[in-house]
Amino acid sequence: MFDTVSLYKCTSYDYDIVYEALDGALSDIDGLSFVKPGMTVGLKTNLVAAMAPEKAGTTHPILLKALCQKLLARGAKVVIGDSPGGIYTSAFVKNIYKGCGLTGMVEELSNASIKLNDDFSVKEATFNGKSLKNFFYTGWLDNVDAIINVSKLKSHAMMGMSCAVKNMFGTVPGATKPEYHMRFSEEMAFANVMVDLNEYFKPVLYVVDAIDGMEGNGPTAGEKRHIGAILASKKPYALDMVCADIINMGISDCQTLKAAYERKLGPKTVSEVTVVGNTSPDLLRVHDFKRATSHQSITFEGGGFLNTVKSVLVKAVYITKPILNESECIGCKKCYEACPAKAITMAKLSAGSKDQRKAQLIPKIDRKKCIKCFCCQEFCPKGAMKVYENPMAKLVHKIYRGR
């Protein structure tokens, strides 16, 4: 019922190893059968910030290089792009390209048929989606004949996991992202924005860079975690289910998986997915993968006063929120600028020497205004903004889910 997922072990970013694993992953699902000579293929990458490849927060340039070579061999032209958080302008995005290692990769290939996107126009679309009806998107996508979504497997504070489905949020211009966080502040509404974007753009192929992923305070300030895999599929929903399973998550942990399942687009469990390749999720599973946060995943069916009380208590346990580690904050105002709810103000340090308190302003969060979108946490360049989780949450997980 769901598209086959190809899973290949890939132990490092050595080009030959990556190329071989990618070749196997794509061959098993006939993933490049759509390519015709002369067509232009857009690679929608994850370039969330100007992060060096070894930080494991963005799509690795070695994987993109291997994919470009395979597309060139079939006579295609390639445009690589994304819209990271921030202003969607040439100067800003080109700095992201350079920081993520893409500028050097494209220069190394030295082929006129491969380029980094230089069209920073913004278009408007009408779509009868679950959440989206009218939305703005990056205009470069109109100039390609097909889209390949090349994502990174990471933890994510709001959605639980950032992978294939979540990666399409990069089709929304950077400065517009906070508005969408505000409009769709409830988790499932925001998850359906991600599903809507996939259904609107309909990429013909999805590839996941899970060689090194990011765990903990993801999707930008976490730690690199070796996973050792490249995955591919023609649809994102079963693919994300397999990726979630590898990092010891499931539908109750990832809102995009739940949204896809409720719309009959994705599976409920990994057992419903056909996985091919040279390894399996069981062999690659990272049992101690650190999450950005634990989402409420316990429900009490049947109604009644007791079950209602249980649900209220569990929700209270699972409340999460962004908090600041003042000692790591540099007062850059990135969180203040990114906050869609305008819940952050800049105030004096509460600790440190008199000179430090006088010299530096740090963010203060108005909890009544905070919508818990975690934009502040995502775009903090130093990882000073953390996800607070009630200590009881881990205990509840252990009791009710055996974790």
Residue 2 near residue 269 (C-beta atoms within 8 A): no
In a domain, 304, yes or no: no
Are 123 and 251 members of one domain?
yes
SS3 content of the chain, % helix, strand, coil (to 5): 40, 20, 40
- CATH number, domain containing residue 106: 3.40.50
pLDDT tens, residue order, the chain (403 aa):
799 999 999 999 999 999 999 999 999 999 999 999 999 999 999 999 999 999 999 999 999 999 999 999 999 999 999 999 889 999 999 999 999 999 999 999 999 999 999 999 999 999 999 999 999 999 999 999 999 999 999 999 999 999 999 999 999 998 889 889 889 989 999 999 999 999 999 999 999 999 999 999 999 999 999 999 999 999 999 999 999 999 999 999 999 999 999 999 999 999 999 999 999 999 999 999 999 875 544 343 444 555 555 444 545 545 678 889 998 999 999 999 989 889 999 998 765 555 555 557 999 999 989 988 888 988 888 889 887 766 655 554 454 344 3
In a domain, 293, yes or no: no
- In the listed set 266, 284, 302, which residue is the last one of a domain according to the structure? 284
Are 157 and 277 members of one domain?
yes
In a domain, 298, yes or no: no
In a domain, 272, yes or no: yes
Are 81 and 141 members of one domain?
yes
Are 57 and 167 members of one domain?
yes
Are 58 and 202 members of one domain?
yes
The number of C-alpha atoms within 13 Å of 395 and in the hemisphere containing its C-beta is 5
Helices then strands (H, E): number in the chain?
Answer: 15, 15
In a domain, 399, yes or no: no
The domain in which residue 147 lies consists of 5-284
Tokens standing for residue 140: 């470069």
State how far the Cα of 213 lies from the Cα of 167, in Å rounded to an integer.
Answer: 14
Quote the number of domains for the chain. 2
- In the listed set 241, 261, 284, which residue is the last one of a domain according to the structure? 284
Are 100 and 212 members of one domain?
yes
The number of C-alpha atoms within 13 Å of 379 and in the hemisphere containing its C-beta is 21
* Helices (H), ranges, 172-304: 177-183, 187-201, 237-246, 255-262, 281-284
What pTM was estimated for this model as a whole?
0.84
- In the listed set 284, 303, 334, which residue is the last one of a domain according to the structure? 284
Are 330 and 224 members of one domain?
no
Are 320 and 270 members of one domain?
no
Are 246 and 383 members of one domain?
no
Are 271 and 329 members of one domain?
no
Are 76 and 136 members of one domain?
yes
In a domain, 335, yes or no: yes
In a domain, 300, yes or no: no
State how far the Cα of 174 lies from the Cα of 218, in Å rounded to an integer.
Answer: 18
In a domain, 400, yes or no: no
Which DSSP state fits 70? H
- CATH number, domain containing residue 369: 3.30.70.3270
Are 206 and 119 members of one domain?
yes
